[in-house]
Structure 1
């Protein structure tokens, strides 16, 4: 069953699909612009750092706007994106917010591995899924993007649910991809996206944790969320309340993480998924007036091209 762009499944996630991009104030605007997106729902308040072959690198002065977007000004990134990786992060002492539910995302970082962005690709997104692909490549030492991509979708229980084209679209333009999917599949992906983001935050300082365990924890908790909240991400059918799931702190406890990796929901997390916090849609942040101002208060000198010479 195909679904329309309805809030029942995607909630505020579609915010990332509209609006203007954050310009990189102080950047050399003579260089080619490329818009990139930080997405869980759309995340406001992150900067994007790119690294291309030949040590061409830079970090945006602007932060992602209320639609999760920021612009990189770089000829190298625009012309040869397949040679570049991207890291989305929150500046020191900064904050970031998921615009789809108001969740604090200040500890989040997302990455796009080199080779995932194709030459001529219109949409570029950093998400929990692209980050897990990056981690897979680093863990295995295999630089083949297709192998890593298929491995991640398989480990998350999504390989048989999506075609190759649907996988590519989900990685590049999540909101557009979700809008075209069967309702149940879209709901599963939304839940796994949210949980995977929390798992990545909880394990960001542990270099020994495996991708397999990260995926297993994600599957265990995402299934529990949907089992207990069948209208997720809404609180109930017809409700205007959005469920907010945050289990990142609980998963820093090794016992909780290991239990979830083994397929059992830890009691402390089960309590959260049984009665999760909610927020009325009317109280969600306005993407046109986001919590974090995207543009710097004064012009900088480095700009989105980081002083690199293309």
Structure 2
């Protein structure tokens, strides 16, 4: 009887101990949020957000494309906020994946896209979706249709990456595709489409989403026809297309909107030449100073803001 009683007491102590461990576990408090500007990672572009009380500037992105804020309004409820990246007029932003400068590119993430404690990104893809939504909040149905119209629907359908995950953490999605040889073609299509879309948005910020989508899809297809392993050229060199200045010409852009096939695009001399002879990519050195700005900047401004090297709306 005593042995049975002792066993019961010991069992009770063990159970109480396990329960005590669980009760004492504490979820780390989320005190900051980071957002990435991504085309590749964009360095030296100014981030700001709006949670319903006007725009609040965070600062410039660091080398890895991140800015960070500790504002509780954004940290605790990022789903109530929209986010924008645009040049501050003093520093020229640079894509650190290829060295390309982006002096006029503006990126957006619509209200409703971000979630507390999760990765957060503004990219050319999220920008086109934000433009399509107008004043409406993010919804996955609209996002899915935009991606489908760009020719990227297969990412969500076959690669195990949801539409929302692609938009919230584009960098990780790109890396996941790059690491799987089965997804080589889709990886190249995503990179080509994103690069072309960035240039189209930068060149024609007021164009309709339908025109931007049509031109981007055809130009990306033309790029892949010439360089199937983009961003590697047919000669095996790292490259990127630079189309923004060409597309800024209204006549050229209008002609591109009227194109229906890759062959039509190839009949536009400036675009055809830019695609056949892309710029050589060169990754800029990562500075030791986290607040350093791209060397192509025009001076002034505060580099890096309080940028974080890690992503997400919670740290």
Q: Could you say which residue in structure 2 is the equivalent of 1:225? A: 223
288-297 or 92-101: bigger deviation: 288-297
Q: Could you say which residue in structure 2 is the equivalent of 1:145? A: 139
Structure 1 unaligned regions, length at least 5: 1-30, 305-310
Q: Deviations over 1:260-301 (max 9, x none)?
A: 22233122100111121213xxx4202345653899669x9x
Structure 2 unaligned regions, length at least 5: 1-29, 178-182, 308-315
TM normalised by structure 1 equals 0.76
Q: Deviations over 1:218-265 (max 9, x none)?
A: 01111111111122111246x4x3212111111122232222222331
Q: Could you say which residue in structure 1 is the equivalent of 2:121? A: 125
Conserved 8 A contact 1:56-1:76 = no
Q: Could you say which residue in structure 1 is the equivalent of 2:47? A: 48
Say what the alpha-carbon RMSD is for the aligned residues. 2.7
CA change 1:193–1:297 in 2 (3 A) is closer
**Matched pairs, number:** 259
Q: Could you say which residue in structure 2 is the equivalent of 1:284? A: 283
CA change 1:291–1:74 in 2 (3 A) is closer
Q: Deviations over 1:48-77 (max 9, x none)?
A: 111103x1641113x111111111221010
CA separation in 2, counterparts of 1:143 and 1:254?
31
CA change 1:32–1:144 in 2 (3 A) is closer
Conserved 8 A contact 1:166-1:177 = no
CA change 1:276–1:74 in 2 (3 A) is same
CA separation in 2, counterparts of 1:144 and 1:233?
30
Is 1:186 aligned with 2:180? no
CA-CA distance at 1:154 after TM superposition: 1.8
CA separation in 2, counterparts of 1:87 and 1:225?
28
1:157 to 124, 147, 151: 151
CA-CA distance at 1:160 after TM superposition: 3.8
165-174 or 211-220: bigger deviation: 165-174
Following superposition of structure 1 onto structure 2, how do residues 1-310 of structure 1 map, counting pairs within 5 Å?
32-53=31-52, 55=53, 57-61=55-59, 63-118=60-115, 120-138=116-134, 142-143=136-137, 145-163=139-157, 165-181=161-177, 182-204=183-205, 206=206, 209-236=207-234, 239=236, 241-261=237-257, 262-263=259-260, 264-265=264-265, 266-279=268-281, 283-289=282-288, 291-292=293-294
CA change 1:102–1:225 in 2 (3 A) is same
CA separation in 1, counterparts of 2:77 and 2:201?
29
Q: Helix, strand or coil for the counterpart of 2:162? A: helix
Instruction: Please say which structure displays the higher CA radius of gyration.
Output: 2
Conserved 8 A contact 2:91-2:301 = no
CA separation in 2, counterparts of 1:287 and 1:101?
13
